[in-house]
Amino acid sequence: MARAMYEYTLTVLKKVSFDASLFCKEVEKAVKRLLPHELEDLRIFIQSLIHQNPELNQCLIYLKA
């Protein structure tokens, strides 16, 4: 079940990656929903997206907490 939530989160983040504010809101939701080990995987995923969309860099702040 938890892995399904992680996969769903990745799908949503890919779809909203065109808009940094929407992306940040979804990252904030993901931090509340996902397990600690999944957050590390999420950080890696987001860093790969940042190479394509540098404006998403501001959303990493939610993963620092």
Q: Number of folded domains in the chain?
A: 1
**Distance between first and last Cα of the chain:** 24
What is the domain extent for residue 44? 2-64
Q: Using 70 as the pLDDT threshold, list the residues of the chain that sit under it.
A: 1-2, 65
Supply the pLDDT for residue 3: 87
63: nearest Cα among 44, 38, 34, 43: 43
Token pair 């509340």 in the structure block, residue: 32
The pTM of this model reads 0.88
Tokens encoding 65: 């907490």
Supply the pLDDT for residue 63: 86
